[in-house]
Amino acid sequence: MWIRNLLRSMLLGVPIGVTFLDTIGYVARVEGISMQPALNPESKNTDYVFLSRWAVKDYSIHRGDIISLVSPKDPNQKIIKRVVALEGDIVSTLGYKNQYVRVPEGHIWVEGDHTGHTLDSNTFGPVSLGLVNARAICIVWPPERWQALEAKIPNHRKPVSTQK
């Protein structure tokens, strides 16, 4: 009898869980120092964030959003960066092959908050919107760091010119 109840629970629970993870979101561990001070402000502690897939389902991404995306350098790796510029914006780069870049249509410019300690668009250039898979909404662990994540760009990294 208990085996039948277990199977029935699994037959209902697994598809519901998979659907939730694929459409709504999931919790992910943030590793490294590239997003300091917003994430992992102390190297010894690791932040866990809720990543909302629902928030980017229609590619509604704004300047300042912290997003998760597939790394253009390694498709097996997911990275978390801040959106600095949207398509049509002109951005002043930090060590990229051109000093100024106009972000092409269907692309964004992403950077880590810890300048100089991050692999971001200054390394690999504008990123296709198709690589974006979620937006970081809030820090969920550790408890003393519970907070919503602000969509803001540091003043020294704002685009030179914006399209919208």
Of 52, 68, 81, 121, which one is the catalytic site residue? 81
CA atoms in the 13 A half-sphere facing the CB of 164: 7
**Residue 131 identity:** L
Task: Classify 121 as helix, strand or coil.
Answer: helix
For this structure, is 60 an active site residue? no
Q: Locate all alpha helices (DSSP H) within 2-87, ordered by sequence.
A: 2-23
Strand pairing of 78-85 and 107-111? antiparallel
For this structure, is 92 an active site residue? no
Of 9, 34, 52, 152, which one is the catalytic site residue? 34
CB 98: neighbour CB atoms within 10 A? 8
Separation CA 6–CA 115 (nearest Å) = 51
Separation CA 91–CA 109 (nearest Å) = 8
Residues 115/96, Cβ–Cβ less than 8 Å: no
Q: Which residues are catalytic?
A: 34, 81
